Structure 1
Amino acid sequence: MYESVTRNIRVVVRPKYLQSQSRPEDDHFVWAYTIAIANLGTEIVTLRSRHWRITDDRGKLQEVRGEGVVGEQPTLAPGKSFEYTSAVPLSTPSGFMVGTYQMETSSGERFDVDIPAFSLDSPQSHRLIN
């Protein structure tokens, strides 16, 4: 489990290697990651966008930007949370991801929330990044 808190927004990440969807002989490795976002503050916030930096174990960087997460822009009242699961493929047996969510308050103020760096390690990995 990986966790960070930015401006009273807690982000918890749980990655899992997907053996059944991976094909190591074809350099195709897949992980699911479940993210829980909790509003620990007193403001209502809406997740507007995401920015991911995905790095494989050769150092190849891929950046992904987009609106919301899994087709949604969830609004979180104080004390509420939102959880989703997504997946990422790599051509190497390990890597890591890190990113930010852009949140917006009900008054229109936007701010970034850190997504903690998390390791993507498969049983085929000869070295662990984290």
Structure 2
Amino acid sequence: MFQQITKGIKVSVKTVFNGAVYRGHQQNFAFSYFISIENKSKDTVQLLERFWVIHDSLNDVEYVEGEGVVGQTPTLNPNDQYNYKSNCLLLSQIGAMSGHYKMVNLNTSEEFLVTIPTFQLTTTPTLN
């Protein structure tokens, strides 16, 4: 599991390889990632936007950004936790994702970025 805490917001990530799939005539490798966002601060916060950088071992880079996550902009009171699952396709068997969430502190109206830790996507465990 990969974890990062930014301004009292803890982001944890687990990944699963779902197998090879074909999109047209192109083989892709399907991954799911499970995100847990915990508000360990004393303030109420809301997730507004997401930004992802997705790399694969073929040096392909994809950027994904938009409002909320999986169609939601969750509000987290102190000690609340929000969980969601999403997916991505890679052209290679190994890749990585990183990014950030834009959040707002609803007590102060301050917007801030929460780091999503870099995590690996791999079809099988890879040893260095």
| Pair in the same fold by TM > 0.5 | yes
The letter of the residue matching 1:119 is Q
Per the normalisation by structure 2, the TM-score is 0.91
The answer on whether the counterparts of 1:30 and 1:90 sit within 8 Å (CA) in structure 2 is yes
1:114 corresponding residue in structure 2: 115
* 1:77-112 Cα shifts (integer Å, max 9, x gaps): 000010000000011111000000000011321000
Q: In 2, Cα distance between the equivalents of 1:55 and 1:33?
A: 15
Question: Where do 5+ consecutive residues of structure 2 fail to align?
Answer: none
Q: In 2, Cα distance between the equivalents of 1:61 and 1:91?
A: 11
Judging by fraction of residues, say which structure has more helix.
1
The answer on whether the counterparts of 1:102 and 1:112 sit within 8 Å (CA) in structure 2 is yes
The answer on whether the counterparts of 1:14 and 1:35 sit within 8 Å (CA) in structure 2 is yes
Q: In 2, Cα distance between the equivalents of 1:15 and 1:49?
A: 21
Q: In 2, Cα distance between the equivalents of 1:26 and 1:93?
A: 13
Q: What is the total number of aligned residue pairs between the two structures?
A: 125
Per the normalisation by structure 1, the TM-score is 0.90
2:21 corresponding residue in structure 1: 23
Q: Percent identity?
A: 34
Question: Where do 5+ consecutive residues of structure 1 fail to align?
Answer: none
1:61 corresponding residue in structure 2: 61
The letter of the residue matching 1:9 is I
Q: Indicate the RMSD between aligned Cα atoms, in angstroms.
A: 1.9
Deviation at 1:27, TM superposition (A): 2.4
The answer on whether the counterparts of 1:52 and 1:99 sit within 8 Å (CA) in structure 2 is yes
Judging by fraction of residues, say which structure has more strand.
2
The answer on whether the counterparts of 2:58 and 2:91 sit within 8 Å (CA) in structure 1 is no
* 1:35-91 Cα shifts (integer Å, max 9, x gaps): 000000101000000000000101211100000000000000000010000000011
